[in-house]
Amino acid sequence: MAARSGSMRRYLLQRLALVVPMVWVLVTLVFLLMRVAPGDPVSAALGGRLSPAALAARRHAAGFDKPLVVQYGEYLRDVVTLNFGQTLTDNRPVREVLIDNGGATLTLTLAALIVAFAVGLPLGRRAGRHRDTPPDVGIRLFGIITYAAPVFFLGLILQLVFGVFLDWLPTSDQAGPVVQAEVPTRTHILLLDALLAGQWNSFVDVLRHLILPAVTLGLLLAGVLIRLVRVNLIQTLRSDYVEAARARGIRESDVVGRHAFRNALVPVVTVMGLQIALLLGGAVLTEETFNWPGIGSQLVNYLNERDYTAVQGIITVFAVAVVVVSLLIDVVSAVVDPRVRY
């Protein structure tokens, strides 16, 4: 036992040590991409709105008149200190934008993940187990449609059906205006703040607002998940250890659930970790569609305004999120699969 937990600790340390170079590579990429655009960012964002003197002052404040190497060094310092400077257009600290809107994005992505797993795991399992039967064909079709349908289109349909025709659920924003005003901000996660303040009705209101965006984004991921689980389950159902378990007379429900399904989930964990980019991309589009006040919709706003400082800060946070999630996924894999730890 001691040896095993020791090797687990060593594995985690190795994995943690990798985080630094991974973040470094990603943020460097972000920095380079942001400089590839021609012209200087300040005039792009504010040209024509400010006097040349004011522009130059802003440029100087943002450091765009310094050599690239110096800018890069300052950028790295910003990343380490988590201080991404002031936005160019509305002159807010980027960090404030991230904090104010990050909670909404976190709420949305986590809720979407819950939807994705709640829909994708049972459907993928069913399709894989009863391969080529009518339910399998139906489930596969469902998975392809939810994956291939553009987010705004799926969102629009849900808005029309559940918001307009049935009038069951709100289709815009994170909460009603009264709730937004009444819930005291503590964690910047509105759902949690409502709960902490003991405002049960506000909590329900936020939850109702969350359903349609979470389902929209969740179904996008569920499509991927269904396919993954199905393919892997078909494979593990044919595996040697499944046949051996049947030869020992293990009940079919246990053969599927305990042996085949569990083994099918091992690669699913890894591949779903790689879908974090899809999740973040989908979150941006979902936030746009549902007017959800997350950093995704802020990113779109600042992109339209050509506010490079804000965009760079937000994308950097996305990049760090990708690295952190991939670390988490590796930890989960190590817990699930004993072979990874060696």
Partner 1 sequence: MSADRDRPPEPEDAPPADSRSESSARTSTELLAVRDLRIWYGTDRGPVRAVDRVSLDLAPGQALGLVGESGCGKSTLGRGLLGMLPPAAATDGEIRFQGRNLIGMSPARLRSLHGPAHGMIFQEPLTRLDPLMRVSEHFEETLHTHQPDLTRDEARHRALSALRGMGIPPTRYRSYPHEFSGGMRQRIMIALTLVLRPAFVVADEPTTALDVLVEAQIVRILADLRRNFATALLLITHNLGIVAESCDRVAVMYAGRIVEEGDVRQVFGAPAHPYTRELLASTISLATTELHYIPGAPPDLVDPPPGCRFHPRCPEAMRVCPARDPVDVEVDVGHRAACWLHGPESLVPPGMDARLTQGAIGVADEA
Binding site for partner 1 (CB under 8 A): 239-241, 243-252, 254, 258-259, 262-263, 266, 336-339, 342
Q: What gap in Å lies between CA 223 and CA 154, rounded to an integer?
A: 13
Q: What gap in Å lies between CA 30 and CA 313, rounded to an integer?
A: 9
DSSP symbol at 292? -
For partner 1, the closer CB: 234 or 266: 266
Residue 324 beta carbon to partner 1: minimum distance, rounded to whole angstroms = 26
Residue 233 beta carbon to partner 1: minimum distance, rounded to whole angstroms = 14
Half-sphere exposure of 181 (CA within 13 A, CB side): 3
44 in Cβ contact with 11 (< 8 Å): no
Residue 308 beta carbon to partner 1: minimum distance, rounded to whole angstroms = 48
For partner 1, the closer CB: 92 or 258: 258
Tokens representing residue 242 in the block? 């499944």
For partner 1, the closer CB: 200 or 241: 241
Q: What gap in Å lies between CA 213 and CA 89, rounded to an integer?
A: 28
For partner 1, the closer CB: 266 or 278: 266
Helix, strand, or coil (residue 93): strand
Residue 157 beta carbon to partner 1: minimum distance, rounded to whole angstroms = 40
Q: What gap in Å lies between CA 95 and CA 341, rounded to an integer?
A: 37
Residue 256 beta carbon to partner 1: minimum distance, rounded to whole angstroms = 13
For partner 1, the closer CB: 35 or 341: 341
Alpha helices by DSSP H, listed for the chain, are: 2-36, 41-46, 52-62, 68-81, 94-129, 134-148, 151-158, 177-182, 190-196, 200-237, 240-247, 252-254, 262-274, 276-289, 295-304, 308-336
**Which residue bears the tokens 């393919």?**
231
For partner 1, the closer CB: 116 or 265: 265
Residue 244 beta carbon to partner 1: minimum distance, rounded to whole angstroms = 4
Residue 277 beta carbon to partner 1: minimum distance, rounded to whole angstroms = 28
For partner 1, the closer CB: 264 or 311: 264
Strand partners, 86: 93
